[in-house]
Chains A and B, each alone.
Chain A
């Protein structure tokens, strides 16, 4: 009898474990924060029976904290308003809150929910924003990210990027998975599974497609895959290696790196694989192209000067101009959405770190304090950089704000994550 029970118990544990690993997603740790933080009080929304976990305000709080621009004011041991009419502003001003978020969740027919919230300016005692959404249980986290985006934009004047998505490659043993997840690493969805490496995923500008490099045919080939229906095509499968895809801002073309003519060179190709033209002409390595947001220039890595550095040339071709000058190894450029900054990986005394480069002034600043950073990409709102690094011998993802003050780690235990890209 005891034995039967323990077996059942064991079986239960195994089932539990299985459901856990199927839902496994990244955990987040945040370090640091901006010196000038906005104080927000978020009263837990009035809950509806059967609403999904966790509470919406918990997801919103995690988003805002990750940005480094907010601090949370405790809502314990005081009034718990759910509508603006119930708010005693003096109480919240005394707690040091700049803004107050209140709301309600109401259960609707068919398992749907109505989510209503109000963002209030505590000092001016005015309403900054109020919205109501009708959502399914499956849209729970998405709506929390949207609320965080509203709070972020109303209080900082900059659009939020919490509702955006990231792509990354997860490696477990010899299995590779290209995944797309929410910007906080939750809701991961596998879009490619392979026994061979996958690298360099890039979201199309509208977020509907992913370009990436897969080694499944025993050599690097560039694919474009629809995130709507999973359909995909080989965009560049020429003789030699095909890699480093980068979307043009209009989503019609890709810059890719081919070796069909000679050493790795940058080419332009239509997203359907037609219309190949060669962009760079050197006897050196030219790779890692990325378009400027206006589509007029292409930044890329080249060793034409003897060490890898960032260069720029017109998207119509011509001579390249060197852009990076600090140190003997600068690779993997990414351009901010407003075109003002580059971020790239700089090697200094054996340490590979994320460097921010203001194009107008040429000023540079190292943003991270790790040693093996790779693959930087800007948030859609330009306020942070996503990158890969190594911690405890394992690949993890990180975000860092442009002032370098706030860093977050996204990691899942036992899983090696790499090659991140931030999309819409």
Chain B
């Protein structure tokens, strides 16, 4: 199994560091991709490729390696904003790489909202945050079939206070793999 994975991961790490033209070719071998994927900058994904190569040499799950960006699972949003901030690009590129390398992996994007206002409307706001992350991953070349954007709205807050820092903590999308 590992023998088969090795070349694929190496190829990925090469494309991640290399030109966008090559990236498109390699991606076509794993998943049919929208053409927009070719425009995605991949300069910051060097570290991703490194960690994937390193971890595939180990029996450990790379997603559980605290040093890997794959261990980062939360995307935070500004107040009243549904834009994925640039600081999450490297982390999302890492997850995109992992998903592309494992066609059977499934990622669930769980959107959240703060407690103010209607529960159903907050469910829709959380969904908007989950959708923003889903779209970013699709742009990075992940198959939509591997992704599901859902919302917990205000129902499962990570921070339970009724203050601005708690609200900020809950304006968030979490990335959870289907087998976790």
- Assess the B124–A419 pair: CB atoms within 8 A: no
Q: Is A59 an interface residue, CB under 8 A from the partner?
A: no
| CB proximity of B88 to chain A, nearest CB, Å | 20
- Assess the B124–A285 pair: CB atoms within 8 A: yes
- Assess the B128–A285 pair: CB atoms within 8 A: yes
- Assess the A331–B127 pair: CB atoms within 8 A: no
Q: Is A220 an interface residue, CB under 8 A from the partner?
A: yes
| CB proximity of B133 to chain A, nearest CB, Å | 13
Interface residues of A in 181-223 (CB under 8 A from B): 197, 199-200, 215, 218-220
- Assess the B121–A301 pair: CB atoms within 8 A: yes
Contacts of A288 in B (CB 8 A): 118, 120-121
- Assess the A352–B119 pair: CB atoms within 8 A: no
Q: Is A356 an interface residue, CB under 8 A from the partner?
A: no
Q: Is A374 an interface residue, CB under 8 A from the partner?
A: yes
A262 to B127, CA, bound (A): 10
A-B contact count (CB 8 A): 88
Q: Is B13 an interface residue, CB under 8 A from the partner?
A: no
- Assess the B150–A287 pair: CB atoms within 8 A: no
Known interface pairs A263-B127, A264-B127, A285-B124; A301-B148 also in contact (CB < 8 Å) = no
| CB proximity of A261 to chain B, nearest CB, Å | 11
- Assess the B156–A374 pair: CB atoms within 8 A: no
- Assess the A220–B151 pair: CB atoms within 8 A: yes
Q: Is B76 an interface residue, CB under 8 A from the partner?
A: no
Contacts of A308 in B (CB 8 A): 121
Interface band, chain A: 20 to 34
Contacts of B117 in A (CB 8 A): 329, 331, 345, 347, 352, 374
A215 to B153, CA, bound (A): 11
Interface residues of B in 141-171 (CB under 8 A from A): 148-153, 155-156
- Assess the B124–A264 pair: CB atoms within 8 A: yes
Contacts of A263 in B (CB 8 A): 124, 127-128, 131
Interface residues of A in 225-281 (CB under 8 A from B): 239-241, 243-244, 257, 259, 262-264
A229 to B6, CA, bound (A): 56
Known interface pairs A285-B128, A352-B117; A243-B155 also in contact (CB < 8 Å) = no
CB < 8 Å neighbour of B120 from A218, A239, A257, A347: A257
A352 to B117, CA, bound (A): 7
Contacts of B156 in A (CB 8 A): 197, 215
Q: Is A332 an interface residue, CB under 8 A from the partner?
A: yes
Q: Is B125 an interface residue, CB under 8 A from the partner?
A: yes
CB < 8 Å neighbour of B119 from A240, A257, A374: A374
Q: Is B38 an interface residue, CB under 8 A from the partner?
A: no
